[in-house]
Amino acid sequence: MKRVLLLSTVHPSADSRIMYKIGPSLQGCYEVFCALPDLRSGGKDKPHLINLPKFGRLLPRILFTHPVVLFKCLRLRPDIVHIFVPELIPLAFLFQWAGAKVVYEVQENLFKKFAIKRYNNGPVFKRLFHFFDNLARRKFHCIFTDDAYLEEYRHLAKPFVVIHNYVSLPVIDSLAHEGAPTHRHEVFYLGVVSMERSLDTMIHAMAMLKNGYPDCHLHVFGPMRVDKAELEAIAGYREAKDNITFHGYTDQKLALRYARQCVAGIALLKPVADYPESFPTKLFEYMALQLPVIASDFPAYKRIVEGAQCGFCIPPYNAKMLRNALECCITDSALRQQMGRNGRKASEAHYNWASEEEKLLSFYNDILNP
C-alpha cells in the first residue's frame, strides 16, 4: 500500500480538514501518516499520528520543529507528501529528492493576507515566501481550497485541482443528538476571533440585542487575535460581556454541539485581504447544521446564501443590521426553520465533502499513475 504523509507545523491537532476530511478519505486507499503539532495517540482505523513540537512563531518552528519533521518523517519514505503551509516548501524538496511526490496545498492568498497578519510577516519572511512559493509552482502538484486563488496562481508547471473545504455531512450528522436544549436565545460563531472577522460588530450588536432579549447569548469558538485592551475598547463590550462566552480554540466536534441550540450562525468578514472572494468553512457548516446564516454582503457570499435562501447578507460593519437579523431569527421561528431546511438541502446537493473526496482521490491517483 502506498504511503501518504499529511504534514503541517501550524495546523491544530484537531484541524477539521486534515483530521476529519482528507485523512479519512485517503485511509481506504493508502497508508496514511499525519504529522501535526501537539498530536495525541491515534486508535484503530485512524491514520498513524506523529506528534510535532508546537510553536507560534516561525523562527522557533524552523529551528526546532523542522529538524523533528526530518528525523521522524523522512525515514518513512512516503510516496506522497502533502504539505499545508508554505514554510515546509524547503523540507518538501528533501522529500522529493528522496523519491516522494509533493502536493502543496494553498489554503489562503498570502499575497493579500500579509497586510493583516500580526506576526511572521516581516520583509525577510515575505521575500522568502515569494521565492519558495515560485519554486513550488514549478516543482510541485498544487491543491487550492478556493477557485479565487487561481487568479494569483496562473502559471503552474504541474497538474493542479481545486478541492473546496465543504462540510463533511457524516461529521455534522454525528452531532445530531448532541447539545442539551436551552431556553436562552443563543447565537453561534466559529473561527478566528479578530476585528477583521467583525468581532466589534458582533459585540455591539449583542449589546443592542440585550435590551430586548436580556437572556441572549453569543458563543464564540476560536483562537483570539485581539488583546484585552482592544476587546474592552469595543463599543458595547461592557454592556454585552456577560452575554458572551469566549471558548477559545475547541475541537470542531465539541464546538458544533453548541450550534444545535442556537438561533443563527454568524459568518461576517470585513472586505480585507482575500476575504471577499474566498469562503469561510463555517458558512457551509452552519448550513449543514440547519442554522440560518448571517454573512457578509459580498457578491460571492450572496450567490450562496441568497441563492439557497438560507439566511441574511449584511454589511459587516453594520451592528444594527446584525441586531435586526438576529431578532428576526429569534422571533420568527417559522422563517428560521425554513432557512435551516434550505441550507441543509443546499449542503446535501452542492456543498458537501463527498464530491470533493472524489476529486482528491482522483488527483492522488493521477499523481502516482501519470
Q: What is the pLDDT of residues 232-279, one digit of tens each?
A: 999 999 999 999 999 999 888 888 888 888 999 999 999 998 999 999
C-beta separation of 164 from 347 below 8 A:
no
Q: How far is CA 354 from CA 266, 286, 360, in A?
A: 25, 17, 10
Which pLDDT band holds residue 53 (cuts at 50, 70, 90)? very high
Which has more confidence, 254 or 318? 318
pTM, whole model, 2 decimals?
A: 0.92
Q: How far apart are CA 194 and CA 76, in angstroms?
A: 39
3-state secondary structure of 204: helix
Question: Quick check: do 3-165+352-368 and 170-349 share a fold?
Answer: yes
Residues 6+ apart with CB under 8 A from 153: 106, 137, 142, 144, 160
Domain residues of the chain, as ranges?
3-165+352-368, 170-349
Q: Are the CB atoms for 325 and 336 separated by under 8 Å?
A: no
**Residue 234 or 116, more confident:** 234
The domain covering 170-349 belongs, at the CATH homologous superfamily level, to Glycogen Phosphorylase B; (3.40.50.2000)
Residue type, 274: D
Write the burial class of residue 28 (CB in 10 Å: 0-12 exposed, 13-18 middle, 19+ buried): exposed
Question: At 123, is the pLDDT very low, low, confident or very high (cuts 50, 70, 90)?
Answer: confident
Mean pLDDT of 322-346: 97
Fold of 3-165+352-368: Rossmann fold (3.40.50)
Mean pLDDT value across residues 23-31: 95
Are 95 and 70 in contact by the 8 Å Cβ rule? The answer is no
Q: How far apart (Å, rounded) are the C-alpha atoms in residues 48 and 226?
A: 35
